[in-house]
Amino acid sequence: MMLAEPDQVSALILAGGRSSRMGTDKALLLWKGIPLLERVCRVADQCCSSVSVLTPWPQRYQPIISVPVQFIEEATPQQGPLIALGQGLEEISSPWILLLACDLPCLESQLLRGWSRKLRGLPDPLLAQVPYHQERWEPLCGFYHRRCLPQLQSFIAQGGRSFQGWLEQMPVQKLAVNGATAAMLRNCNTPEDLASS
Protein backbone atom coordinates (compact mmCIF):
# COMPACT_ATOMS: atom_id res chain seq x y z
CA MET A 1 0.00 0.00 0.00
CA MET A 2 1.06 3.59 -0.66
CA LEU A 3 1.09 5.43 2.65
CA ALA A 4 0.20 9.11 2.54
CA GLU A 5 1.03 11.19 5.56
CA PRO A 6 0.04 14.87 5.68
CA ASP A 7 3.57 15.96 4.79
CA GLN A 8 3.33 13.96 1.57
CA VAL A 9 0.50 16.03 0.08
CA SER A 10 1.16 19.42 -1.52
CA ALA A 11 -1.54 21.65 -2.95
CA LEU A 12 -1.31 22.97 -6.50
CA ILE A 13 -3.80 25.77 -7.20
CA LEU A 14 -4.45 26.72 -10.81
CA ALA A 15 -4.89 30.44 -11.49
CA GLY A 16 -4.26 30.78 -15.20
CA GLY A 17 -7.65 30.67 -16.89
CA ARG A 18 -9.17 33.34 -19.10
CA SER A 19 -12.24 33.93 -16.88
CA SER A 20 -14.12 34.78 -20.09
CA ARG A 21 -17.58 33.90 -18.77
CA MET A 22 -16.96 35.86 -15.60
CA GLY A 23 -15.89 38.97 -17.50
CA THR A 24 -13.06 39.72 -15.05
CA ASP A 25 -10.24 37.87 -13.29
CA LYS A 26 -12.17 35.54 -11.00
CA ALA A 27 -9.14 34.81 -8.81
CA LEU A 28 -9.42 38.40 -7.56
CA LEU A 29 -13.19 38.44 -7.08
CA LEU A 30 -14.32 38.85 -3.49
CA TRP A 31 -16.36 36.16 -1.75
CA LYS A 32 -17.40 37.21 1.75
CA GLY A 33 -14.78 39.95 1.53
CA ILE A 34 -11.90 37.63 0.55
CA PRO A 35 -10.44 37.15 -2.95
CA LEU A 36 -11.31 33.70 -4.28
CA LEU A 37 -7.66 32.74 -4.74
CA GLU A 38 -6.82 33.80 -1.18
CA ARG A 39 -9.76 31.74 0.12
CA VAL A 40 -8.56 28.59 -1.67
CA CYS A 41 -4.96 29.18 -0.52
CA ARG A 42 -6.09 29.47 3.11
CA VAL A 43 -8.02 26.21 2.97
CA ALA A 44 -5.14 24.40 1.25
CA ASP A 45 -2.71 25.72 3.86
CA GLN A 46 -4.80 24.03 6.56
CA CYS A 47 -4.58 20.55 5.05
CA CYS A 48 -1.38 20.32 2.97
CA SER A 49 2.33 20.50 3.75
CA SER A 50 2.89 23.20 1.14
CA VAL A 51 0.86 25.32 -1.26
CA SER A 52 1.85 26.33 -4.79
CA VAL A 53 -0.02 28.58 -7.21
CA LEU A 54 0.57 27.93 -10.91
CA THR A 55 -0.12 31.07 -12.91
CA PRO A 56 1.24 33.24 -15.73
CA TRP A 57 0.78 36.28 -13.44
CA PRO A 58 2.53 35.72 -10.09
CA GLN A 59 3.07 39.47 -9.57
CA ARG A 60 -0.67 40.06 -9.87
CA TYR A 61 -1.54 37.67 -7.05
CA GLN A 62 1.36 37.92 -4.59
CA PRO A 63 -0.05 41.00 -2.80
CA ILE A 64 -3.38 39.32 -1.95
CA ILE A 65 -2.07 36.08 -0.41
CA SER A 66 -1.57 36.01 3.37
CA VAL A 67 -0.41 32.38 3.82
CA PRO A 68 2.93 30.85 2.77
CA VAL A 69 2.69 30.11 -0.96
CA GLN A 70 5.19 29.25 -3.68
CA PHE A 71 4.34 30.81 -7.04
CA ILE A 72 5.20 28.76 -10.12
CA GLU A 73 5.15 30.64 -13.41
CA GLU A 74 3.08 28.74 -15.94
CA ALA A 75 5.33 27.58 -18.79
CA THR A 76 2.58 27.26 -21.41
CA PRO A 77 -0.26 29.59 -20.34
CA GLN A 78 -3.90 28.90 -21.12
CA GLN A 79 -3.31 25.40 -22.50
CA GLY A 80 -5.71 23.83 -20.03
CA PRO A 81 -5.56 22.18 -16.61
CA LEU A 82 -4.16 18.87 -17.83
CA ILE A 83 -0.96 20.50 -19.08
CA ALA A 84 -0.84 22.60 -15.91
CA LEU A 85 -1.00 19.43 -13.80
CA GLY A 86 1.90 18.02 -15.80
CA GLN A 87 4.04 21.05 -15.00
CA GLY A 88 3.08 20.83 -11.34
CA LEU A 89 3.99 17.15 -11.13
CA GLU A 90 7.38 17.95 -12.67
CA GLU A 91 8.16 20.82 -10.29
CA ILE A 92 6.67 19.72 -6.95
CA SER A 93 8.57 16.94 -5.18
CA SER A 94 5.81 15.68 -2.85
CA PRO A 95 4.47 12.20 -3.61
CA TRP A 96 0.89 13.49 -3.83
CA ILE A 97 -0.56 16.69 -5.30
CA LEU A 98 -3.97 18.01 -4.36
CA LEU A 99 -5.01 19.87 -7.51
CA LEU A 100 -7.43 22.74 -6.91
CA ALA A 101 -9.13 25.34 -9.07
CA CYS A 102 -8.88 28.91 -7.79
CA ASP A 103 -12.66 29.42 -7.96
CA LEU A 104 -13.96 27.00 -5.32
CA PRO A 105 -15.31 29.30 -2.59
CA CYS A 106 -17.02 26.53 -0.60
CA LEU A 107 -13.93 24.37 -0.06
CA GLU A 108 -13.82 22.76 3.40
CA SER A 109 -10.48 21.84 4.93
CA GLN A 110 -12.04 19.16 7.15
CA LEU A 111 -13.44 17.29 4.16
CA LEU A 112 -10.19 17.62 2.24
CA ARG A 113 -8.26 16.24 5.24
CA GLY A 114 -10.64 13.28 5.34
CA TRP A 115 -10.02 12.58 1.67
CA SER A 116 -6.28 12.93 2.24
CA ARG A 117 -6.41 10.28 4.99
CA LYS A 118 -7.97 7.86 2.49
CA LEU A 119 -4.75 8.00 0.47
CA ARG A 120 -3.06 5.90 3.16
CA GLY A 121 -5.11 2.87 2.18
CA LEU A 122 -4.87 3.13 -1.59
CA PRO A 123 -3.41 0.03 -3.27
CA ASP A 124 -0.26 0.58 -5.32
CA PRO A 125 -1.86 0.43 -8.79
CA LEU A 126 -4.07 3.45 -8.07
CA LEU A 127 -2.44 6.72 -9.13
CA ALA A 128 -5.20 9.21 -8.38
CA GLN A 129 -8.16 9.79 -6.10
CA VAL A 130 -10.81 12.05 -7.60
CA PRO A 131 -14.45 12.94 -6.84
CA TYR A 132 -16.93 11.42 -9.29
CA HIS A 133 -20.37 13.00 -9.59
CA GLN A 134 -23.22 12.64 -12.08
CA GLU A 135 -21.16 10.48 -14.46
CA ARG A 136 -18.27 12.97 -14.52
CA TRP A 137 -14.97 13.38 -12.76
CA GLU A 138 -14.32 16.54 -10.73
CA PRO A 139 -10.59 16.71 -11.53
CA LEU A 140 -9.90 20.19 -10.13
CA CYS A 141 -10.38 18.97 -6.57
CA GLY A 142 -8.48 15.70 -6.81
CA PHE A 143 -5.32 13.95 -5.65
CA TYR A 144 -2.63 12.82 -8.11
CA HIS A 145 0.48 10.75 -7.38
CA ARG A 146 3.80 11.66 -8.96
CA ARG A 147 3.90 8.24 -10.59
CA CYS A 148 1.06 9.22 -12.94
CA LEU A 149 3.35 11.72 -14.73
CA PRO A 150 4.60 9.32 -17.46
CA GLN A 151 1.03 8.34 -18.40
CA LEU A 152 0.02 11.99 -18.40
CA GLN A 153 2.95 13.01 -20.60
CA SER A 154 2.17 10.19 -23.03
CA PHE A 155 -1.50 11.21 -23.21
CA ILE A 156 -0.56 14.85 -23.88
CA ALA A 157 2.07 13.87 -26.48
CA GLN A 158 -0.66 12.03 -28.39
CA GLY A 159 -2.73 15.22 -28.49
CA GLY A 160 -4.89 14.49 -25.46
CA ARG A 161 -6.23 17.53 -23.62
CA SER A 162 -9.39 16.16 -21.98
CA PHE A 163 -9.12 15.59 -18.25
CA GLN A 164 -12.19 13.34 -18.43
CA GLY A 165 -10.61 11.27 -21.21
CA TRP A 166 -7.31 10.89 -19.36
CA LEU A 167 -8.94 9.84 -16.09
CA GLU A 168 -11.11 7.27 -17.87
CA GLN A 169 -7.98 5.36 -18.88
CA MET A 170 -6.19 5.75 -15.54
CA PRO A 171 -6.34 3.59 -12.38
CA VAL A 172 -8.31 6.06 -10.25
CA GLN A 173 -10.07 5.71 -6.90
CA LYS A 174 -13.50 7.34 -7.09
CA LEU A 175 -14.48 9.58 -4.18
CA ALA A 176 -18.19 9.42 -3.43
CA VAL A 177 -19.99 12.76 -3.65
CA ASN A 178 -23.00 13.57 -1.47
CA GLY A 179 -24.99 16.77 -1.11
CA ALA A 180 -22.45 18.58 1.07
CA THR A 181 -19.55 17.48 -1.11
CA ALA A 182 -21.34 18.53 -4.28
CA ALA A 183 -21.80 22.02 -2.85
CA MET A 184 -18.08 22.22 -2.07
CA LEU A 185 -17.18 21.28 -5.64
CA ARG A 186 -19.23 24.05 -7.26
CA ASN A 187 -16.95 26.44 -9.07
CA CYS A 188 -17.71 29.99 -10.14
CA ASN A 189 -17.71 30.62 -13.88
CA THR A 190 -20.26 33.45 -13.95
CA PRO A 191 -21.28 36.29 -11.62
CA GLU A 192 -24.48 34.33 -10.94
CA ASP A 193 -22.45 31.32 -9.76
CA LEU A 194 -20.56 33.50 -7.30
CA ALA A 195 -23.72 35.17 -6.01
CA SER A 196 -25.38 31.81 -5.32
CA SER A 197 -22.38 30.29 -3.49
Binding residues for Mg(2+): 103
Alpha-carbon torsion, ordered 58, 63, 66, 68, to 10 deg: 30
Selection from 81, 82, 60, 83 nearest residue 71 by Cα: 60
Tell whether the torsion through CA atoms of 124, 128, 129 and 132 is positive or negative.
Answer: negative
65 in the Ramachandran plot: left (φ > 0), alpha (ψ -120 to 50) or beta? beta
Binding-site residues for GTP sit at 14-16, 26, 103
d(CA 177, CA 184) in angstroms, rounded, equals 10
Binding-site residues sit at 14-16, 26, 103
Question: Helix H segments across 1-63?
Answer: 36-47, 58-61
Q: Are 9 and 98 in contact (CB under 8 A)?
A: yes
